[in-house]
Amino acid sequence: MTDTVDIRFLLMIRDSGSLTAASRKLGLTPSAVTQRLQQLEKKLAMRLVDRTARKLLFTEEGQLLCQRGEDLVQQFDALLEDLQERRGGLVGTLKINAPLGFGRRYVAPVIADFQLQNPDVNVALTLSDQPLTETVDRFDVVVHIGELRVSNLVGYAIAPNSRFVCASPSFIKRFGSPNAPDELMHMPCIVLRENNEDVSLWHFSKGKTSRSVRVTSRLSCNDGEVIRRWACEGRGVILRSEWDVTDELQSGRLVRLLPAWKAPDANVIALTHNRAGLPARTKHFMEFLQDRFKPMPQWRV
């Protein structure tokens, strides 16, 4: 017979994909994880994981334990949460996925404050340059910026966020300031790779007029902080969220270009799997996150 600790351990191995990856998440050595798995198999008198292949393969018994055990763990957590709510607290684990830059600057502080107020909640934050291409089923909340393509996830508005075309004063001195979006095609640009989007096609509108421009990019990166730094160094034009460039625009390190033309907004939203039946910890965190950006987000104060 096993308990939830053993089941959670086995689920961690399954979700990690390897004993080495599981050891990093658990803060153990690979040999310690292997030894613990062997002890579990000995206790159950059956083999759960085939470790001879390059990729871990669960036996039928191991798959069954994961499938049925995961349901039991969720039921157990729900029971604890119900009991905790009766005495006015929250309990359980909250798994959150957020974009690299925004998650680092804005989501991480919110999570730290939320966990401080709810000490029985464990919060696991994962930062990614492609949050929507991750296995979203493994997360309770996914923070997303920009347009949301077709999805079965439920979206909650967090904060408004515009996007600006920017360049450094030194770049403008060398290349001039464009008067129309089409002129960007003849200027060095820098693009941010994220969410498998067509990042070199920039869209603009001015009243009822729309323009789409294919920019030329010699520099690209999946980290917004890097492309912002490159832009400040005069290496090219960037199209970035206002949350990311507000400080640079205010200090003069960057200058907004084409202010009469509007790029599509990239509002901040949070996604969950369903609106009804969310655990109390998830609902409270969503409210906590929304309240942090009211009445206006920090980049517009």
Question: Does residue 279 surpass a pLDDT of 90?
Answer: no
Structure tokens at 177: 């300031």
The total of other beta-carbon atoms located within 10 Å of residue 80's CB is 14
Rounded mean pLDDT of the chain?
A: 88
Structure tokens at 70: 């995961």
Average of per-residue pLDDT across 178-190: 95
Higher pLDDT, 104 or 196: 104
Contacts of 57 (CB under 8 A, 6+ apart): 49, 50
Structure tokens at 125: 């934050």
Predicted pLDDT at 134: 54
Question: Residue 94 phi/psi, 5° resolution?
Answer: -115, 120
Structure tokens at 242: 């206002």
Question: Does residue 1 surpass a pLDDT of 50?
Answer: no
**Using CA atoms, how far apart are residues 31 and 52, in angstroms rounded to an integer?**
15
Among 194, 119, 196, 187, residue whose Cα is nearest residue 163: 194
Higher pLDDT, 10 or 73: 10
Question: Does residue 226 surpass a pLDDT of 60?
Answer: yes
Grade residue 180 by pLDDT with cuts at 50, 70 and 90. Answer: very high
For the chain, list the domains and their CATH numbers.
Answer: 4-84 (1.10.10.10), 89-161+267-300 (3.40.190.10), 163-257 (3.40.190.10)
Structure tokens at 1: 């017979």
Q: Which of 95-104, 110-119, 137-146 has the lowest mean pLDDT?
A: 137-146
The total of other beta-carbon atoms located within 10 Å of residue 183's CB is 15
Residue reference for tokens 């515009």? 162
Question: Does residue 245 surpass a pLDDT of 90?
Answer: yes
Higher pLDDT, 164 or 15: 164
42, 73, 74, 113, 179 from 262: Cα distances, Å: 64, 49, 46, 35, 13
The total of other beta-carbon atoms located within 10 Å of residue 42's CB is 9
Question: Does residue 53 surpass a pLDDT of 60?
Answer: no
**Which DSSP state fits 146?**
S
Average of per-residue pLDDT across 48-69: 83
Higher pLDDT, 273 or 35: 35
**Using CA atoms, how far apart are residues 237 and 213, in angstroms rounded to an integer?**
13
Predicted pLDDT at 260: 95
Grade residue 276 by pLDDT with cuts at 50, 70 and 90. Answer: low
Average of per-residue pLDDT across 86-115: 89
**Using CA atoms, how far apart are residues 76 and 71, in angstroms rounded to an integer?**
9
Question: β-strands 154-159, 268-272: how paired?
Answer: antiparallel
Question: Does residue 264 surpass a pLDDT of 80?
Answer: yes
Predicted pLDDT at 278: 78
Amino acid of residue 273: H
Average of per-residue pLDDT across 184-207: 90
**Using CA atoms, how far apart are residues 154 and 286, in angstroms rounded to an integer?**
12
Higher pLDDT, 218 or 90: 218
Amino acid of residue 68: R
Structure tokens at 210: 């729309």
Predicted pLDDT at 228: 96
Please give the model's pTM, rounded to 2 decimal places. Answer: 0.72
Average of per-residue pLDDT across 72-90: 72
Question: β-strands 188-192, 141-145: how paired?
Answer: unpaired
The secondary structure element, H or E, covering residue 190 is strand 188-192
Average of per-residue pLDDT across 244-273: 95
